[in-house]
């Protein structure tokens, strides 16, 4: 309980409660004084409001009366009777006796009203009896009485207004006195609330200000300052104690950090040298992998060119040899790691032309490329030709049907996709999984799928954070589909 009384929550609650109490008391006093003044004014003009309403009701009785006499309407009769009963209900039965002129005139008005309402009943009876001369004469008398009643009401209202004007100074004096007391109460409540709030805030802010000064000393590197000794609310005392402990811990850690700084600096320099060495090794390995080519392809194509030169005319052979030269020139000249898609497609088209000459009947080749991507998309060099070569060499060894290889390039959202699909013998799921396993330091370059493995590992080098950059969908006797998916928002990791 003692801890709660000295807690920050209790201090805030007490401060708000006391301030609200001052405000509520002052507002309550103002409210009651306003009600008192309102009641005083209301009493002053009660009689005048009553006679003004009575005058309107008497004047309003003329319309249904005239309507009934002229048309004998049942609706007008109903309105007339209702208004007549309402007027009777507001007339006092026995007004008090008084010598006051206004009271005497009021008793006279009530007496004339009763006579007027009796005449209403009488004229209704004459109308029903169709006594035209009688109710016409009576109506004229009622008109004179009505005018006299209205005039007397005006006399009473004017006399009452004059009397209220005589009492106006008294009402104004009372109103000013109430306003003065209201102002004094508001000022008193305001200053009491401000004083209490300043007192409550100072109990919290003064220790925090001292704490901020000591924190500035610590920020300047002065750890030899004395501990802070302040008695305040429980929460702030806890913060001060934690600050003192922190200061002492920092002073102990600074010396240890300075000793470790030299050790860490030497370690970082050694780590940087190792990273540069590893990057150099990866770059050398990358160039080595790009330089791999199956020499059998060169010999086979050259033999085919010689056979064509013997068996056919020189024009077709010239085209063949021209595309072959373009393909060799493309592979030998290429030294960039990432090239525009157009450059990659041009080399692939020359290679596909050579394949169509070599396998005119047993192999069907197709290439589909979105022309909008040729100059906008960037891809790693030499990634499509090795995949096509791998399909031609390995996919159709044990099949008898016509071989098909389809190459497609398209863009979907922010990804450029390149796929090579064949209808060959396919490969076991275990082999596909093994090919997709990253192993940059133990590649068997003489394996039968060297071209495919070369492309896979190069893509892993370029996109180390994207293990799904290449996928293989294959099964035995169901063909193979290899898809490369490059995120255009991701820059390739190129060794510098």
Region 262-274: mean pLDDT is 73
Q: Which of 151, 166, 181 is the last residue of a domain?
A: 166
pLDDT at position 3 is 45
- For residues 396 and 401, what is the distance between their CA atoms, to the nearest angstrom? 9
Token pair 């004094």 is found at 184
Higher pLDDT, 142 or 283: 142
- Tell me the CB-side half-sphere exposure of residue 335, using CA atoms within 13 A: 1
What's the pLDDT at 152?
80
- Give residue-wise pLDDT tens across range 158-176: 776 676 666 666 667 777 7
Pair 315, 464 in one domain: yes
Mean of the per-residue pLDDT values for the chain? 76
pLDDT value at residue 441: 46
Which residues in 160-193 are b (16+ Cβ under 10 Å) and which e? beeeeeeeeeeeeeeeeebeeebeebbeebeebb
d(Cα 142, Cα 69) in Å, to the nearest integer?
A: 13
Domain assignment of residue 495, yes or no: no
Give the model's pLDDT for residue 293. 46
Q: What is the pLDDT of residue 277?
A: 43
Residue 411: name the closest of 386, 436, 387, 375 by CA: 375
The pLDDT-based confidence of 269 (bands split at 50, 70, 90) is confident
Is the predicted pLDDT of residue 141 greater than 80, yes or no?
yes
pLDDT higher than threshold 70 for residue 290 = no
pLDDT in tens, 180-239: 887 887 888 788 878 877 777 777 777 777 777 777 777 777 766 777 766 666 666 777
Q: How confident is the model at residue 40 (pLDDT cuts 50, 70, 90)?
A: low
C-alpha 453: how far from its chain's center? 48
Give mean pLDDT, residues 421-431: 88
Last residue of a domain, one of 166, 198, 216: 166
Which string of b and e fits 255-287 if b means at least 16 CB within 10 Å? Answer: eeeeeeeeeeeeeeeeeeeeeeeeeeeeeebbe
Q: What is the CATH number of the domain that holds 355?
A: 3.30.565.10
Residues 462 and 313 occupy one common structural domain: yes
* Rounded CA separation 288/93 (Å): 125
In a domain, 416, yes or no: yes
Query: What is the band of 259 on the pLDDT scale with cuts at 50, 70, 90?
Result: confident
Quote the tokens at residue 91. Answer: 């007339």
Over range 351-366, report the average pLDDT: 87
Q: For residue 189, give both structure tokens.
A: 């409540």
Tell me which of 316 and 286 has the higher pLDDT. 316
pLDDT of residue 5: 53
pLDDT, mean of residues 42-54: 70
Task: Check pLDDT > 90 for residue 400.
Answer: no
Residue 143, in any domain of the structure: yes
Instruction: Tell me the residue range of the domain where 122 lies.
Output: 45-166
Tell me whether residue 353 is in a domain: yes
The domain boundary, picked from 144, 166, 188, lies at 166
Instruction: Give the mean model confidence (pLDDT) for residues 136-143.
Output: 82
**54 lies in some domain:** yes
- The residues facing 367 across adjacent strands are 407
The residues, any chain, with a CB within 8 Å of residue 428's CB and separated by 6 or more, are 475, 476
Cα–Cα distance for residue pair 484/231, rounded to 1 Å: 70
**Sign of the torsion angle spanned by Cα atoms 278, 463, 376, 326:** positive
Confidence label for 411 from pLDDT (cuts 50, 70 and 90):
very high
- Report how far residue 18's alpha carbon sits from residue 35's, in angstroms, rounded to the nearest whole number: 26
Contact 365, 403 (CB under 8 A): no
Res. 346: pLDDT tops 70: yes
- Where is pLDDT greater, at 128 or 38? 128
Residue 29 lies in a domain: no
At 417 the pLDDT is 94
- Indicate which CATH number applies to the domain containing 87: 1.20.1440.210
Count structural domains, the chain: 2
**Ordered strands of the 415-422 beta sheet:** 363-369, 403-412, 415-422, 480-487, 470-474
Question: Tens of pLDDT along 26-37?
Answer: 777 777 777 776
Helices in 359-424 by DSSP H: which ranges?
A: 385-390
Decide if 347 is inside a domain.
yes
**For residue 369, pLDDT beyond 90:** yes
The pTM is what? Answer: 0.42
More confident site: 361 or 219 = 361
Let me know if residue 447 belongs to a domain: yes
């Amino acid at each position: 309980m003692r801890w709660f009384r000295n807690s920050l929550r209790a201090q805030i609650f007490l401060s708000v409660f006391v301030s609200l109490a001052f405000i509520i008391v002052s507002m309550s006093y103002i409210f009651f004084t306003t009600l008192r003044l309102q009641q005083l004014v209301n009493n002053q003009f009660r009689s005048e409001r009553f006679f003004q309403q009575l005058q309107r009701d008497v004047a309003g009785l003329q319309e249904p009366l005239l309507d009934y006499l002229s048309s004998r309407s049942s609706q007008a009769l109903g309105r007339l009777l209702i208004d007549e009963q309402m007027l009777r209900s507001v007339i006092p039965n026995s007004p008090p006796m008084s010598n006051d002129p206004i009271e005497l005139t009021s008793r006279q008005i009530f007496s004339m009203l009763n006579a007027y309402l009796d005449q209403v009943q009488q004229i209704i009876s004459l109308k029903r009896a169709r006594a035209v001369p009688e109710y016409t004469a009576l109506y004229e008398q009622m008109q004179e009485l009505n005018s006299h009643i209205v005039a007397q009401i005006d006399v009473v209202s004017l006399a009452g207004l004059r009397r209220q004007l005589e009492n106006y100074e008294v009402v104004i004096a009372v109103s000013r006195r109430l306003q003065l007391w209201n102002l004094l109460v508001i000022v008193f409540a305001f200053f009491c609330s401000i004083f209490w709030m300043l007192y409550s805030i100072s109990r919290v802010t003064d220790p925090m200000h001292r704490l901020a000064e000591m924190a500035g000393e610590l920020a300047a590197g002065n750890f030899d300052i004395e501990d802070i000794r302040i008695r305040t609310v429980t929460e702030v005392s806890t913060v001060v104690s934690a600050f003192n402990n922190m200061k002492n811990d920092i002073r102990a850690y600074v010396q240890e950090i300075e000793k470790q700084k030299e050790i860490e600096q030497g370690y970082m320099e050694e780590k940087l040298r190792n990273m540069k060495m590893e990057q150099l090794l990866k770059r050398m390995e990358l160039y080595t992998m790009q330089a791999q080519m199956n020499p059998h392809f060169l010999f086979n194509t050259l033999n085919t060119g010689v056979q064509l030169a013997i068996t056919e005319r020189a024009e077709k052979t010239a085209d063949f040899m021209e595309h072959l030269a373009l393909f060799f020139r493309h592979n030998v000249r290429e030294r960039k790691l990432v090239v525009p898609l157009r450059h990659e497609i041009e080399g692939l088209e020359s290679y596909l032309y050579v394949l169509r000459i070599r396998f005119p009947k047993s192999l069907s080749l197709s290439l589909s490329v979105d022309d909008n991507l040729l100059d906008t998309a960037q891809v790693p060099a030499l990634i499509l030709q090795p995949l096509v070569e791998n399909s031609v060499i390995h996919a159709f060894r044990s099949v008898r049907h016509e071989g098909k290889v389809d190459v497609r390039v398209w863009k979907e959202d922010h990804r450029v996709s390149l796929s090579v699909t064949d209808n060959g013998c396919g490969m076991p799921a275990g082999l596909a999984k093994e090919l997709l396993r990253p192993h940059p330091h133990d590649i068997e370059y003489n394996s039968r799928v060297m071209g495919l493995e070369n492309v896979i590992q190069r893509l892993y080098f370029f996109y180390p954070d994207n293990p799904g950059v290449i996928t293989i969908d294959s099964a035995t006797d169901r063909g193979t589909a290899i898809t490369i998916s490059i995120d255009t928002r991701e820059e390739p990791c190129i060794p510098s």
